[in-house]
Amino acid sequence: MFLLDGSALGTDTAAPFTCRWDTTSASLGAHELTAVAYDELGRTATTSVIVVVERADLEVIWRTPVEGQTVSGLLNEPNANCEALVTASAGVDRVEFRLDGALLNTERSAPYSCLWDTTQSANGTYVLEAKAFDLDGRSASVAINVGVANAQVIGTEYYVSSSTGNDQNDGLALGRAWKTMAKVNSITFSPGDVVHFSGTIDDQPIGNPGRGTSAAPIVFVGDGPFDGRARIRGIALTNAEHLVFRNFEASGTAQYPNVVTARSTSAGRVQFVRFERLYIHDATEGVVAYTPRDSDLTFVDSDIRGMDQNGVLLGDEAGDRFTFIRGSIKDTGRRNPGYGVHGVYPSGGHGHLFDGVEFGDNANGWSLSIRRGNITVRNCRFRNQKMINNCNEDEGTTNPYTGSPSHHLTYWIYRNLFVGTVAGSTSIYQSNNNDHGVDDPQNTWLIFNNTFVDSVLNFGSARPSSPAIPGQLTTGYFADTYDIYLRNNLFVGGRVSVSPIRGSHVHALSHNGWWSLAPQGSHSVTSDPQLDAANTVTSPAYRDAGTAVISPLATMVPDFSDPMGYRGAAPDIGHSER
């Protein structure tokens, strides 16, 4: 028998006598390991040793899944089915999860969980890797082989046609298609069902079609004939999960002024809904989410045009994780209702993502106006007079509608292009001029690898009218209590204003390029980036470099904490970082 600190660890009845001990579950330090032998007469002999359990400086192990395990459905933190355990003597900076080498997600706090919807992967074997980085820049990784085996749910296919349909048909073939959305809305569909639409079916919006699953969503798809889309009146959801809407065009009317709405009720919620290749135009508002139970809404390759007010409104009570990938949001805010209206107005929720979106032409507000919640903006293109504004309210307590924190927020802004369209255009503006909750919300801006052309980046009190050069300080609206990191950005033909700090906060400008700053392009600190027609940097000096090479005379504040994880590397300057 083997004992660990006096407690049974295991037994073995045949030589060689061994036991199994998983030291990763043991506390650090000294432990007594004892072996007790028994002979056939019941006599015993005992020997003990003292062993010391230590951890590697940086260690990663998979808690779940394990090598060779078969998985299915959604792997994420709430389901507690995809987690890595990390120990780091220097502290953990982040953990990256990769699937066959492709990044799934990055986590910066425990529990370190991957986010993988296995239903989007074919059944088979995959390599799942967890790679941890510590605060000293070291990394360690562990990869396992896992199998995916999702049940192949075969749903029913239905058809709707405005030209040949009849609601008396069974809808099970194109020649037996239904005709109206009223008929569609009278049906509760099942997981895996697919509904095809052809023509213009606009007697009413699509309502609640039922509930799919992560492995078998309910799919609505337009089959044309309008640029591959079908025309509908809109989408109005109050109780729906795991749906996909693909290839639709919709506009607003007096009866249905907003095109896509999510308004969960006490009877259910709206979540895990994906919208692909939608064209939303000429309405009061394009997309509106109202309640905390409206979450995990994703738009891909969709375009929003011609909104009288907001292109996307995430209301004060909106839920988390709104995502917009590629596509565009333009020509919004056409009518002034007496308050600001924007391309996107995330007034509630957390964890929103805008990736690869083209913003522009907002008439009575900002392309993106952040009010509450963490947000990531990456790979986007802004062309407007007013691009990103932050007026974060209620940071001192919690969002009064959802109960989620409104402080200690992080705004990730990276690999974007900002181009001003008129004199005095503003790329990023920190305002917070009312209802700010507390003096020190402890929020953070991480702004790196962007290109700013002919625009003002303003963390000061007002748009600067005097010439600004790198590091110019002015007083500001609460920017003095925000940590602000500006790194590896390129500023061309604009101005920069950053307020002084208060207390222990950090304002760090590091490895940026400064060319032809206002006024009249008379302030250039670094060499010419040689922008092409798409405002992409072509100068070799800006590749794999940094201001130490391209601007030997620049005086910058070193970014010692390095929250972006460059770890001493020298990435490109500007939004075209490879």
CA–CA separation, 306 and 174 (whole Å): 34
Please report whether residue 121 resides in a domain. yes
> Do 142 and 194 share a structural domain?
no
Domain shared by 98 and 172, yes or no = no
Asked, for residue 207, whether it belongs to a domain, the answer is yes
Q: Are residues 30 and 46 in the same domain?
A: yes
Q: How far is CA 411 from CA 163, 388, 406, 479, in A?
A: 49, 11, 12, 13
- How many percent of the chain have pLDDT more than 90? 36
A 10 A CB-CB count for 424 gives 16
Question: Does a structural domain hold residue 143?
Answer: yes
CATH number, domain with residue 186: 3.30.1910
DSSP string, 193-216: -EEEEESEE-SS-B---BB--SSS
Which tokens hold the place of 478?
A: 């609460």
Give tens-digit pLDDT for 340-395. Answer: 789 999 888 888 999 999 999 888 889 999 887 788 899 999 999 899 988 765 54
Q: What is the CA radius of gyration of the chain?
A: 28
Alpha-carbon span 469 to 483, nearest angstrom: 20
In a domain, 571, yes or no: no
Report yes or no on 99 lying in a domain.
yes
CB-CB contact of 456 with 498 (8 Å): no
Dump strand ranges (E) for 365-424: 368-370, 375-378, 381-384, 386-390, 410-414, 417-420
Contacts 24+ apart (CB under 8 A), 182-189: 184/160, 184/209, 185/209, 187/158, 189/155, 189/158, 189/218
* 161 falls within a domain: yes
161 and 134, same structural domain? no
The tens-digit pLDDT sequence of the chain (578 residues) is: 888 898 888 888 888 888 888 776 677 778 899 988 888 888 888 999 888 876 557 889 998 999 999 999 889 888 888 999 988 877 788 899 999 998 898 888 888 999 998 987 888 999 999 999 988 788 899 999 999 998 777 899 999 999 999 999 999 999 999 999 999 999 999 999 999 999 999 999 999 999 998 778 999 999 999 999 999 999 999 999 999 999 999 999 989 999 999 988 877 889 899 999 999 999 999 999 988 788 899 999 999 999 999 999 998 778 888 999 999 999 998 887 777 789 999 888 888 999 999 999 888 889 999 887 788 899 999 999 899 988 765 544 555 555 555 567 788 898 899 999 888 888 988 775 444 445 566 778 888 889 999 888 887 643 333 333 333 333 344 566 778 888 888 888 877 777 777 777 777 777 778 787 655 555 666 778 888 898 888 888 777 655 545 554 444 344 444 444 444 455 677 787 65
CA torsion, ordered 162, 165, 166, 170, to nearest 10 deg: -130
Residue-range definition of the domain harbouring residue 73: 58-148
Who's near 399: CB < 8 A, 6+ residues apart? 316, 348, 372, 373, 405, 406
**Does 141 share its domain with 177?**
no
Q: Which helix (H) or strand (E) element contains residue 547?
A: helix 547-550
Contact indicator for 320, 351 with CB cutoff of 8 Å = yes
- pLDDT of res. 478: 58
- With CA atoms as reference, report the closest residue to 493 among 464, 458, 542, 452: 452
Element (H, E) at 550: helix 547-550
Pick the last residue of a domain from 122, 148, 174: 148
- Residue 483 inside a domain? The answer is no
CA dist 317 and 321 (Å) reads 13
Domain's final residue, options 182, 197, 229: 229
C-alpha span between 330 and 334 (Å, rounded) = 10
In a domain, 184, yes or no: yes
Instruction: Note whether 46 and 84 are same-domain residues.
Output: no
- Map 467-529 to HEC letters: CCCCCCECCCCCHHHCEEEEECCEEECCEEEECCCCCCCCEEEECCEEECECCCCCECCCCCC
Residue 114 belongs to a domain with what CATH number? 2.60.40.10
Taking Cα atoms as reference points, which of 460, 390, 394 lies closest to residue 432? 390
Which one, of 508, 525, 391, lies nearest residue 446 by Cα? 508
Q: Whole-model pTM above 0.85? A: no
Final residue before a domain boundary, out of 191, 207, 229: 229
Domain identity same for 113 and 43? no
- If one counts the domains in the chain, the total is 3
